[in-house]
């Protein structure tokens, strides 16, 4: 960890706790800042805040009082989930107080370079693949961000011999200042989180922040099959490394005659890849590019791709029971992710879907329902998904209260050779705290069938 004096004796407000807020407050306190923590949860119910109070950090809980802006704070470190429309955040920006996220702190103290991954879909799989490839290539990677340990905690332990592989959301990227990864990856861009960002333009700009500080000495790995991604690349000063599943490139990562190539070099045959789904080829190509740029040998890349079956909650194979294969894709919190999941299989599918209603319809799923034989719905969006299933001509459509009840019903509706797929196409927050909780309940219910 770099010993920096940047925050020493500065008054800093950490807004919102959870894991990243606790880590940020503790680190800033260690760096000599005068830290105040403000969290909406009451102190009596807030163990994290109580622990920070024991360290001598000022804690204000139960509300976000606007009067805090009169305290002379020089910086605010914001939990990524708190929107910029929050009155405290909005007031701070109007007063010229910088607002950052915890990722920026991690970058400022880190001795290790970063490989940073963002995009609408595929972030978690790509991040895991890059980490596993670097590990197989003995490059001493550490994993951080949404997929692993809080970035600023990882950065405190990292040396210049490590590389930090980090998954970043648009929320986190809105709050960076100097953050500059050695390698940045933009997997793809689709409409997402517009309730937070307001417009697609603002969402894309947040994603583009991943490359805003890069120079010709860094690399930006981008999806050459998407015009919006290439527009972001056109504004970058980094060396552009494209990848494509659809065309042969002069340079970068691509597929030719059943082989993965990087530049003109054959890496491995696609038939040897363990991870299912055409959409995962994008994730694989971007990870291969990052690995090759990090001097990982082809044998290590092959070893990972030949054995890697996916990350938990992302098209995760659970088990085969009575001739049925069960897959957990709880992380499919939007329509595109579910489209990709359905497209990954040729077998008949019993689909489990539903969740938080964000106002959209599900007509975009209809063309993908060709091999879906039955749909079991739950959650707020159940009626909308059922309407789409009826329009697609699906004869068997059932509704249940929750995921736990959906599993045995899906089993009853299935036959040997079928895939039973949880791919909700919706966020989980109407019924479950996180998509992980939803996925874990699915896994437990599947195991109960045995």
Residue given tokens 């595109």 in the structure block: 336
Coil vs helix vs strand at 59: strand
CA distance 169 to 146: 8
Q: Is 175 annotated as a binding residue?
A: no
C-alpha angle 99-211-16 in degrees, rounded to nearest 5: 25
Say whether 124 counts as a known binding-site residue.
Answer: yes
Inter-residue contact 224 to 215 (CB < 8 Å):
no
In 3D space, the residue among 288, 263, 293 whose CA is nearest the CA of residue 275 turns out to be 288
Is 354 one of the annotated binding-site residues? no
- 3-state DSSP call for residue 245? coil
- Which two tokens mark 55? 């360290």
Which CA distances in Å does 93 have to 73, 249, 441, 448? 12, 44, 41, 52
Q: Which residue in 445, 351, 360 sits closest to 397, CA to CA?
A: 351
SS3 of 368, please? Answer: helix
Q: Is residue 120 a known part of a binding site?
A: yes
Q: Which residues pair with 375 in a beta bridge?
A: 351, 397
Residues facing residue 185 across a β-bridge: 117, 221
Instruction: Quote the CA–CA distance of 319 and 444 in Å, as a whole number.
Output: 11
Question: Is there a binding annotation on residue 118?
Answer: no
Annotated binding site: 119-125
Going by the annotation, the residues of the binding site for ATP are 119-125
């Amino acid at each position: 960890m770099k010993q920096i004096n940047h925050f020493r004796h500065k008054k800093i407000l950490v807004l919102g706790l959870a894991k990243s807020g606790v880590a940020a407050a503790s680190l800033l306190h260690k760096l000599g800042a005068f830290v105040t923590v403000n969290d909406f949860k009451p102190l009596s119910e807030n163990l994290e805040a109580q622990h920070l109070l024991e360290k001598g950090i000022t804690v204000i809980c139960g509300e976000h009082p606007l009067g805090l802006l009169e305290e002379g704070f020089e910086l605010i470190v914001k939990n990524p989930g708190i929107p910029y429309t929050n009155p405290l955040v909005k007031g701070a920006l109007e007063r010229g107080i910088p607002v950052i996220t915890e990722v920026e702190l991690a970058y400022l103290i880190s001795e290790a370079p970063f490989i940073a991954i963002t995009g609408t879909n595929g972030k978690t799989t790509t991040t895991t693949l890059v980490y596993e490839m670097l590990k197989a290539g003995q490059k001493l990677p550490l994993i951080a961000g949404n997929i692993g340990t809080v970035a600023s905690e990882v950065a405190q332990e990292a040396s210049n011999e490590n590389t930090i592989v980090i998954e970043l959301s648009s929320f986190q990227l809105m709050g960076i200042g100097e953050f500059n990864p050695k390698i940045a990856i933009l997997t793809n861009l689709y409409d997402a989180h517009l309730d937070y960002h307001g417009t697609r333009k603002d969402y894309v700009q947040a994603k583009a922040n991943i490359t805003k500080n890069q120079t010709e000495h860094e690399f930006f790995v981008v999806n050459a099959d998407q015009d919006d991604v290439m527009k972001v690349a056109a504004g970058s000063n980094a060396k552009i490394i494209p990848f494509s599943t659809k065309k042969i490139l002069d340079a970068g990562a691509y597929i030719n005659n059943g082989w993965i190539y990087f530049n003109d070099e054959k890496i491995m045959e696609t038939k040897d890849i363990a991870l299912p789904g055409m959409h995962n080829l994008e994730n694989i190509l971007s990870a291969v590019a990052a690995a090759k740029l990090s001097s990982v040998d082809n044998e290590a890349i092959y070893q990972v791709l030949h054995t890697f079956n996916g990350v938990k909650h992302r098209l995760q194979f659970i088990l085969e029971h009575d001739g049925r294969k069960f897959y957990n894709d709880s992380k499919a919190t939007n329509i595109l992710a579910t489209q990709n999941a359905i497209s990954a299989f040729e077998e008949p599918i019993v689909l489990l879907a539903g969740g938080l209603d964000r106002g959209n319809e599900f007509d975009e799923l209809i063309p993908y329902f060709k091999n879906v034989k039955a749909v079991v719905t739950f959650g707020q969006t159940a009626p909308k998904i059922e309407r789409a299933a009826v329009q697609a001509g699906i004869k068997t459509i059932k509704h249940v209260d929750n995921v736990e009840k959906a599993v045995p019903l899906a089993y009853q509706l299935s036959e040997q050779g079928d895939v039973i797929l949880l791919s909700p196409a919706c966020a989980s927050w109407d019924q479950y705290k996180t998509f992980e909780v939803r996925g874990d309940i699915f896994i437990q219910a599947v195991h109960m069938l045995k």
